[in-house]
Structure 1
Amino acid sequence: MGRHARAYIAGAYEHPIRKATDQSLAQLHAECAAGALKDAGLTRDDVDGYFCAGDAPGWGGVTMAEYMGLNVRHIDSTDTGGSSYLSHVAHALEAIAAGHCTVALITLAGRPRADGMMVGTSSLAPDQSDPSAAFEYPFGPLIVNLYGMTAMRHMHEFGTTREQLAWIKVAASQHAQHNPNAMLKKPVTVEDVVNSPIIADPLHRLDCCVISDGGGALIVTSPEVAKSLNRPPVAVIGTGEAPHYSSNGLADLTVSGAARSGPAAFAEAGVTPKDIKYASIYDSFTITVLVTLEDLGFCEKGKGGAFVQDGNLISGVGNLPFNTDGGGLCNNHPGNRGGMTKIIEAVRQLRGEAHPKVQVPNCNLALAHGTGGRLATRHGSATLILERE
């Protein structure tokens, strides 16, 4: 089938809920799994591999396999935060190629909004087993502070402006208005963003992602199974993973793990950033997008501000449509882990199933990228290159 494909995404489902006051965490996982299986035209009896991260309750994969009645022979519970689910796709590909499974189910679910969590503005709980605790926690960092540090450093090094960062939110909002499930459907302007309250200088409130419940799920299958299904085949042709950390303060705050995971994915796929028709980029904050685009090679380091301004990320307007569901900035950020939804929207684009107002014409090659952790300290990065056949 695909030129490099050893596995295919055959099913994808995003939970429509944004505040789950009546559903348990396990129930959300199960509902997402059922949706993805239905989308693929498979049943739970077909699943022989299960992948989940730290958002799964109890003993993770073991607990959820029991809860959903799965009879699996392969479990992977890799947790790299918001990038976990892109890593899971890569690991499912490897497991399928090795003969460990043929139909892999990947789930994400969370209910931070129902639980009253404040993403980004709550303090990081000290963990005495964490070797960084003695050097960081005494200073009381908040998640948004750490992203503000990255943004401020980027502005200092390259002259990036608040207005340029604001264009990322503007693009997301232009797309979200066409998504009936999006939390923030109203389009905003650059002025709206820079005039919203400062949360952690230079980041404004509208530079930050939404807080939502919900989740999503994927079905990754062998080429043989994919051939038997009546769904548009989406091939996984390139993968890359990389951790990134502060190196005791010696690391460049303007560089992320995407600088390593991206080239690995492009090399495996045999394509370049110029070939990509659509990009799903993790958008916990606007600065996350800007740094990631640079590190993935869509523009030179330091040129991200110029690249994103004037609508260059808006579908039908710019050269690189991104996050056409509204992304974490406007649509949802389930369980504070947005990597799953990045894959789902890339699959929609490749299938031609995105909203007509944001569907990219002739979208045959897409990128999805996830970031888990904090840009200024340590995080996991994972990149996928996906192709429509």
Structure 2
Amino acid sequence: MSIRGQAFIAGAYEHPRRKIPDRSAAQIHAEVAVGALADAGLSLSDVDGYFTVDPTGLGAISLAEYLGLKVSHIDSTLTGGSSYLVHVGHAAAAIAAGKCSIALITLGGHAVPAPGTRPAPGAGTPHGPFEEVYGVNTVNNYALAARRHMYEFGTTSAQLAEIKVAAAYHAQFNPDALLRKTVTVEEVLDSPMVADPLHRLDCCVMTDGGGALVVVSPAVAKSLERTCVQVLGQGEAPKHTMNGRLDVTYTGAVWSGPKAFEEAGVTPADIDYASIYDSFTITVLETLEDLGFCEKGRGGEFVMDGGLLAPYGRLPFNTDGGGLSNNHPVNQGGMTKVIEAVRQLRGEARPEVQVPDCALALAHGSGGRISSRMGSSTLILGREDA
């Protein structure tokens, strides 16, 4: 069953704050839920499907109770930062199957969760005792991928820096962005080394916050006054160590991307705007290659000379500033990738970065660690009249 044209995103809302010490995670979920539903012209009482990730209590059930939802379908699939793109695909499939007609997807929380509310990395997993004891962490895991990509293809730190430069350029127009200062390639390279070859400015921000989406059936979309966005295609795929046969120069996007493009009936050349998960600059570079925007190993060349700048670059990306400059709520930034893609298709991005006549947008999320195991999801969205 294809989800092409079977569901629409009717509401999208990003929490405006980046530091929220005076709210609980549940309160943040509630605020973004109300915001997205108001954007769609709906209310909590209209929701009959709920999708979220919450590591505490009973997860989605606990939050559904907190929000007062009475739903016939619920999903708490966890694939890290890509979870919310997976949720859009699953919501569309549930709507197409008649399981629900108005699905709410929420993300909310803090950059550093309260003690005891999130298990330590690797805790209780098969790989934990074999990896975590050696000091593996997120940044050195991504640094391994960057160094190998440099070795295989001649990618340079200056090329990676171009990705941060583009994100920072876009963030200056976003009044809610955590980092609004533009930077140069030289400033990226001069920033402190965190894990060779990744500098501090190659790394995403860590923020409180959240966001929400409302996915509805075609019949509901027609009844709303709000401009909606079509869900055209979605793909998801895990990538892991494959019992030691691991190549760290590609991501799960090599599988999730083609699935999404095939279902949507479009190609990378058709995409007007892309939201690419940017936990680190190397994440963006490998993902661009894996999604087919350029050949494998040519990502460094693709991002040069303003290739990612809006509105007229080869592929305008992350026009809100992305995780590198704007927002990376709860260390799971896939939600914000979908929200900015929706803004672009509605013509509601900041005027300085709005892509003219934006008709097709891609959002891509990554979860986990690029050099070990990760979950990837790709989403193709189109204008309501596409």
The answer to whether the superposition gives a TM-score over 0.5 is: yes
- Matched with 1:300 is 295
1:72 corresponds in structure 2 to 71
**Separation in 2 of the partners of 1:65 and 1:124?**
25
Query: For 1:169-223, what per-residue CA distance to the aligned partner results, in whole angstroms no more than 9, with x for missing partners?
Result: 0000000000000011000000000110000000000000001000000000000
Give the structure 2 partner of residue 120 of structure 1. none
Aligned to 1:310, the other structure's residue is in SS state: coil
What amino acid does structure 2 have at the position aligned with 1:148? A
Instruction: Specify the SS of the correspondent of 2:89.
Output: helix
Q: Which residue of 2 aligns with 1:17?
A: 17
CA distance in 1 between partners of 2:137 and 2:60 (Å): 30
Match of 1:27 in 2: 27
User: 2:46 and 2:378 mapped to 1: Cα distance?
Assistant: 27
Deviations 1:281-309 (A, max 9, x none): 00000000000000000000000000011
Q: C-alpha offsets along residues 12-43 of structure 1, whole Å, 9 cap, x if unaligned?
A: 00000111110000000000000000000001
Q: Once the two structures are superposed, what CA deviation does each residue of 1:220-266 show, in whole Å capped at 9, x if it has no partner?
A: 00000000011112000010000000113311100100000000000
Q: In 1, are the aligned partners of 2:26 and 2:109 still within 8 Å (CA)?
A: no
1:54, 1:81 within 8 Å by CA — same for their partners in 2? no
**1:119 aligned residue:** none
Matching of residues 248-267 of structure 1 within 5 Å: 248-267=243-262
How many angstroms apart in 2 are the aligned matches of 1:197 and 1:277? 35
1:61-90 CA-partner distances (Å, limit 9, x unpaired)? 111111111111110000000000000000
Query: In the aligned structure 2, how far is the partner of 1:124 from the partner of 1:140?
Result: 13
Tell whether 2:328 aligns with 1:329.
Answer: no
Aligned AA (1:80): T
Letter in 2 for 1:61: A
1:146 aligns with 2:145: no
RMSD: 1.6
Q: Which residue of 1 aligns with 2:360?
A: 365
Separation in structure 1 between the aligned mates of residue 34 and residue 110 of structure 2, nearest angstrom = 18
The two structures have a TM-score, normalised by structure 1, of 0.95
Out of 106, 109, 130, the residue aligned to residue 125 of structure 2 is 130
Identity, in percent, stands at 65
| Closer, same or farther: CA 124–145 of 1 in aligned 2, 3 Å | farther
1:124 Cα shift? 6.2
1:297-324 CA distance string (max 9 Å, x none): 0000000000011110000341100000
Q: CA deviation at 1:113?
A: 5.1
Unaligned runs of at least 5 residues, structure 2: none
The unaligned stretches of length 5 or more in structure 1 are: 117-122
Question: Which residue identity is paired with 1:251?
Answer: L
Matched residue type, 2:103: A
Q: Is the 8 A contact 2:54 2:60 kept in 1?
A: no
2:279 maps to 1:281: no
Give 1:125 deviation, angstroms: 3.9
What do residues 139-173 of structure 1 show as CA deviations (whole Å, max 9, x unaligned)? Answer: 11111000000000000000000000000000000
Aligned equivalents of 2:121 and 2:88: distance in 1? 30
Paired residue for 1:374? Answer: 369
Which deviates more, 281-290 or 59-68?
59-68
Q: CA deviation at 1:58?
A: 2.2
TM-score by length of 2: 0.96
User: Deviation at 1:269?
Assistant: 0.4
Change (3 A) 1:197 1:124: farther
Does the 8 Å CA contact 1:281/1:370 hold for their aligned counterparts? yes
1:1-389 correspondence to structure 2 within 5 Å: 4-54=4-54, 57-112=56-111, 125-127=121-123, 129-388=124-383, 389=385
SS in 2 for 1:367: strand
> SS where residue 214 of structure 2 aligns?
strand
Match of 1:355, SS state, is coil
- Post-superposition Cα deviations, 1:37-56, rounded to whole Å, max 9, x if no partner, equal 0000001111000000135x
Amino acid at match of 1:199: V
Identify the range of structure 1 (313-322 vs 193-202) with the bigger mean alpha-carbon deviation.
313-322
> What CA distance in whole angstroms lies between the structure 1 residues aligned with 2:339 and 2:121?
31
Residue 374 of structure 1 and its aligned partner are, at CA, apart by 0.5
What is the CA–CA distance in structure 2 between the aligned matches of 1:51 and 1:346, rounded to whole Å? 19
Structure-1 separation of matches of 2:304 and 2:370: 22
3-state secondary structure, aligned to 1:292:
helix
